[in-house]
Chains A and B, each alone.
Chain A
Amino acid sequence: MVTQISEGLKAEVKDLNFYYTHHQALKNIHLQIAEKKITALIGPSGCGKTTYLRCFNRMHDLYPGNRYEGEIILFPDQLNIISPKIDPIEVRMRISMVFQKPNPFPKTVFENVAYGLRVRGESRRSLVEDKVEKALKQAALWEEVKDRVQDLAFNLSGGQQQRLCIARALATDPEILLFDEPTSALDPTATSKIEELIMQLKKEVTIIIVTHNMQQAARVSDYTAFMYLGEIIEFDKTDKVFTHPSKKLTEDYITGRFG
């Protein structure tokens, strides 16, 4: 029932079940994540898309009682990232995340971007400076902040703060970048900047994005998975999902009949 994709894979999810203590939030999820493509997760509130996204960097490990079953295989080394034997920190070193609301630390612009490098023990100044600059350029923020990298991050606008958070997530060269509704707290101008940026970034990194906004999924993504009540209802190339959905439920959702 789930479409197999023919491109290079970055990750493959097999029979994933996830439980918040006794409540099962994800049911038998199978999904393939294409390398250096954008995969969008859409669906109504509470369908489990954010829960699913947060499995990829083991964020659920921060809270008691959460339990994973199944496999998320990361390529090329075929690491099962949700295996209890794998240290979540190791996973998070390779897969970083941009959150719903811009959430810079109360530090300078520079130190925000450098955070991931610092926790990896990187202390060579010139290397940190180069990586911070590169990440800020990748996040299309460098031109706006190059003269004030020592300013506090809170002084930036909301859209700039979110791009700063993207730079922060990029600075450590992740293999997968997770976006959890990254534009839901932003105005339309800032939103379109972030969308452009996300499309640029897929040249370098595999992206999974949760979004509430169907136009956004249609605009930016290569693949779309429609989720409902903890299950994947439909997964296919984005234009296929939005033009010829194979399931009635998908069609109802993308035409706005519910959600």
Chain B
Amino acid sequence: MRSNRLRYVTQSVAKILIWIAALSTIAVMILILFQILREGLPILRLSFFTQSPKSMGREGGILTPIIGTVALTVVAIIVATPLGVGTAVFLREYTRESRISRVIRFGTDCLAGVPSIIFGLFGFVFFVIYLNMGWSILSGGLTLAAMILPTIICTTEEAIKAIPYSFREVSYSLGGTKWQTVTRAILPNALPGIFTGIILSVGRSIGETAAIILTAGSSLVMPTSLFSPIRTMAVHFYILAREGISMEMAYGTGAALILLVLFVNTIANGLLNRYIRHRS
């Protein structure tokens, strides 16, 4: 009897703890959003998005940092997605558990744990100086690509792992080659998972600062090519706040950043849902 009562007590305590955990998470999220949006939303006018920063960002808008953010993220995703998906397909479909696959997996796991500033340092030494790309969209984008590669590999691998083995067997039994099986029976079904990896990576790219300052610079001049230096919104925010240029503008940039992330996630979720609905 006593042990039975104990079970009920344990159950209630556990329930309370779990509620506390969930509510604290939500509370922290709301606090952050509230703080940034309360300070930042009043700054957001249309002109804030359409004008370039003036006098170091004290006035004007954030058009160039927006372009910088989008450009770097696009370069990173375009480079990292085929590499990451290709690696995941290789690991799951083209090689059996072996020394090579273990080395690759160990490598990506390590890569995932490396702090972004180290990627920045690597990008600075390799892309900026050694390959002579200078501080540029390309150097920054490639550095970001290296940074998000583990995420894309990992989510793609998980997505491929979840596909029933029967799809492969059927595809082969109908005379499919390995490549046809991968492209027709496996990747279409892994697409939602791959998409999740890309979304996570976009979030990481948009929010990154340290690695970008070292590889893309912090120029406020409108870029003209992939070799132009650029400043992203997150870097802009950091510099405005860190150097005490304008807290007001920093909050405005922060609010815009949050809206951008929300926007990207909403669009991506919408696309994903449409894709899933289209297939079911």
Contact = CB atoms under 8 A, between A and B. Distances in A.
A181 to B, nearest CB: 14
Contact of A59 (B172, B175, B184): B172
B58 interface: no
Interface in A48-81: 57, 59, 62, 64
Contacts of A107: 279
B167 A105 contact: yes
Contacts of B172: 59, 62, 88-89, 92
B166 A120 contact: no
Contact of A99 (B166, B188, B189): B166
B173 A96 contact: yes
Contacts of A165: 170
B280 interface: yes
Contact of B167 (A103, A120, A169): A103
Contacts of A59: 169, 172-173
B170 A118 contact: no
B173 A57 contact: yes
A57 to B, nearest CB: 6
A168 B185 CA distance: 14
B189 A62 contact: no
B96 A93 contact: no
A158 to B, nearest CB: 15
A106 interface: yes
A118 B176 CA distance: 9
B171 A106 contact: no
B105 interface: no
Interface residues of A, number: 27
Interface in B147-202: 164, 166-177, 180, 184-185, 188-189
A152 B169 CA distance: 20
Nearest to A91: B175
Most buried by B among A105, A152, A168: A105
A59 B175 CA distance: 11
A89 B168 contact: no
A89 B177 contact: yes
A119 B175 CA distance: 7
A97 interface: yes
Most buried by A among B168, B172, B175: B175
A172 B96 contact: no
Contacts of B171: 115, 119
Contacts of A96: 173-175
Contacts of B168: 62
Contacts of B164: 103
A25 to B, nearest CB: 18
Interface in B240-280: 279-280
B174 A168 contact: yes
A106 B279 contact: yes
B166 A101 contact: yes
A242 interface: no
